[in-house]
């Protein structure tokens, strides 16, 4: 990095000279035209040529392995590709077709555009100007909290299967759209402007998205453990699980709210205090289960999953603190509630 002085020319225009080494490495000479991008996060970028390097990539898949096709399609979507072509010597097998349809169904804006005997083209029509990363993150947080709440409540009446249901696909759709938006924003600053955000905000949203997906996975474990119970836990243990679950979901809600700038550092600080009390309740539940004898294995699994969701909630709250610090907010001790006083 180097500093250069801003100067003025006769008509009052401000000028800054380009570093000679950079200009030569980019093939820029006197008389050439460059493009200036003024971004909302204070960055003025100089782009040479016509910007083809920032165009969304076109991907080609030549594998016949359904597992490879699935991962490649997911990776192409996340990388910001606008089109994916599956090339082969014969028509898609039923297994390959199911993979393509499943991935497309769980990705916003992704669909099969054309198909022949030797190629299938999948297009991704997703306009960044119509995408709201913050709203997608709010919906994701709401969905995973709903999954978590139903999983904990399933302990009261053990179901035959996990209570997650189709909402798992909704989590994947929202998470993959955030992933794609952030990837495109890292590759092209014009995408950042189209999304109406800044690069630090994008990264914080991406980090929160990853933690929310981990939260969903732990909630699914609670649901699976509930389905394995022969009978509901005792009233005291069930009430502890409900209390911890409610506290953890509130921590997640507050953390996302602060990470998106809806609330300030005090809310994130309060969420961390609530999380500490939830951990104490989980510790007490573990001690109680040590004396439970046979039949406590499934409840220990519930306890471990609750602890994992608590840790994920704490990580989300920390992301909120990160944003607060970046915005120069002071981090204070939480004011005790009237009940605590």
Residue 156 is classified by DSSP as G
pLDDT of residue 292: 67
**50 pLDDT tier (thresholds 50, 70, 90):** low
CA neighbours closer than 13 Å in the CB half-sphere of residue 64: 8
- The answer for residues whose C-beta is within 8 angstroms of residue 142's C-beta and 6 or more apart is none
pLDDT of residue 337: 45
Lowest mean pLDDT among 25-29, 272-276, 287-291: 287-291
Closest CA to 129 of 56, 202, 195: 195
| Burial readout 79-115 (b: 16 or more C-beta within 10 A, e: otherwise) | ebbebbbbebeeebeeebbebbeebbebbebbebeee
d(CA 128, CA 14): 32
d(CA 306, CA 144): 14
pLDDT of residue 163: 67
**42 pLDDT tier (thresholds 50, 70, 90):** confident
Task: Report how far apart, in Å, the C-alpha atoms of 154 and of each of 148, 270, 298, 309, 331 are.
Answer: 10, 28, 13, 16, 38
pLDDT over 50 (residue 341): no
pLDDT of residue 180: 92
The pLDDT > 70 percentage for the chain reads 92
Q: Are domains 58-124 and 129-326 of this chain identical in fold?
A: no
pLDDT tens per residue, range 295-304: 688 888 889 9
d(CA 12, CA 35): 20
Give the predicted TM-score (pTM) of the model. Answer: 0.81
Please give the average per-residue pLDDT across 131-136, as a whole number: 91
pLDDT over 60 (residue 310): yes
pLDDT over 50 (residue 339): no
d(CA 275, CA 334): 13
Contact 175, 24 (CB under 8 A): no
Please give the average per-residue pLDDT across 278-289, as a whole number: 90
Contact 180, 126 (CB under 8 A): yes
pLDDT tens per residue, range 135-184: 999 999 999 999 999 999 998 887 776 667 778 889 999 999 999 999 88
Task: Write down the domain spans for the chain.
Answer: 7-52, 58-124, 129-326
CATH topology of domain 129-326: Methane Monooxygenase Hydroxylase; Chain G, domain 1 (1.20.58)
227: three-class secondary structure by DSSP: helix
| Residue with the larger pLDDT of the pair 50 and 332 | 332
User: Which pair of tokens denotes residue 142?
Assistant: 């709401």
d(CA 232, CA 84): 49
pLDDT over 90 (residue 206): yes
The per-residue pLDDT of the chain, averaged, comes to 86
pLDDT over 50 (residue 232): yes
Contact 34, 47 (CB under 8 A): yes
pLDDT over 80 (residue 289): yes
pLDDT tens per residue, range 78-114: 988 999 999 988 888 899 999 999 999 989 999 999 8
| Assigned CATH class of 58-124 | alpha beta
pLDDT tens per residue, range 218-231: 999 998 888 888 88
């Amino acid at each position: 990095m180097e500093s250069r002085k801003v100067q003025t020319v006769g008509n009052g225009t401000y000028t800054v000279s380009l570093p000679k080494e950079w200009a030569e490495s980019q093939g820029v000479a006197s008389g050439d035209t460059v493009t200036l991008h003024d971004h909302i996060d204070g960055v003025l970028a100089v782009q040479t040529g016509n910007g083809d390097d920032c165009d969304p990539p076109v991907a080609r898949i030549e594998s016949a392995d359904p597992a490879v096709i699935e991962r490649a399609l997911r990776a192409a979507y996340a990388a910001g590709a606008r089109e994916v072509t599956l090339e082969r010597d014969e028509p898609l097998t039923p297994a390959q077709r199911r993979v393509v349809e499943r991935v497309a169904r769980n990705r916003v804006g992704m669909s099969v555009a054309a198909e022949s005997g030797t190629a299938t083209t999948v297009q991704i029509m997703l306009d960044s100007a119509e995408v709201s990363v913050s709203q997608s993150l709010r919906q994701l947080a709401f969905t995973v909290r709903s999954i978590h709440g139903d999983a904990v409540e399933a302990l009261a009446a053990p179901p035959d299967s996990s209570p997650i249901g189709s909402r798992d696909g909704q989590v994947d759709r929202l998470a993959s759209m955030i992933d794609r938006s952030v990837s495109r924003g890292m590759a092209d600053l014009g995408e950042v402007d189209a999304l109406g955000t800044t690069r630090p905000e994008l990264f914080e949203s991406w980090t929160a998205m990853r933690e929310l997906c981990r939260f969903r996975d732990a909630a699914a474990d609670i649901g699976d453990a509930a389905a394995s119970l022969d009978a509901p836990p005792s009233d005291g243990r069930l009430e502890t699980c409900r209390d911890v679950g409610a506290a953890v979901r509130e921590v997640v809600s507050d953390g996302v709210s602060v990470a998106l700038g809806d609330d300030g550092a005090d809310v994130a600080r309060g969420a961390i205090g609530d999380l500490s009390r939830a951990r104490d309740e989980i510790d007490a539940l573990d001690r109680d289960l040590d004396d439970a004898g046979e039949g406590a294995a499934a409840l220990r699994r519930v306890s471990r999953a609750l602890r994992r969701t608590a840790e994920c909630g704490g990580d989300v709250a920390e992301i909120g603190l990160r944003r607060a610090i970046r915005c120069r907010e002071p981090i204070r001790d939480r004011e005790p509630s009237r009940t605590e006083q």
